[in-house]
């Protein structure tokens, strides 16, 4: 089981992560200009597609 989280202070709002998430757990919020984990964080598959495109290192995926 994997848990995904995004550091709001580090995220630049590029939204590359959300576009590539096969589980559709990540959503860009225009009013905040950042991307958030809006799906069930526990449904993360641990594929690291999001972390591999995040240049700011804002995303953390941990195996529980």
Interacting residues toward ligand SF4 by CB under 6 A = 4, 6, 11-17, 20-23, 25-26, 35, 44-50, 53-54, 56, 58-59, 61
Minimal distance, residue 27 CB to ligand SF4, in Å:
10
Question: Which tokens hold the place of 5?
Answer: 């989280």
Minimal distance, residue 31 CB to ligand SF4, in Å:
14
Burial of 50 (0-12, 13-18, 19+ CB in 10 A): buried
Minimal distance, residue 63 CB to ligand SF4, in Å:
10
**Pick from 37, 35, 49, 36: nearest CA to 3:** 37
């Amino acid at each position: 089981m994997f848990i995904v989280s995004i550091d709001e202070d580090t995220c630049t709002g590029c939204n590359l992560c959300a576009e590539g998430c096969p589980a559709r757990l990540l959503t860009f919020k225009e009013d905040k200009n950042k991307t958030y984990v809006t799906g069930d964080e526990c449904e993360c598959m641990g594929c690291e597609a999001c972390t591999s495109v995040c240049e700011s290192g804002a995303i953390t995926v941990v195996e529980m």
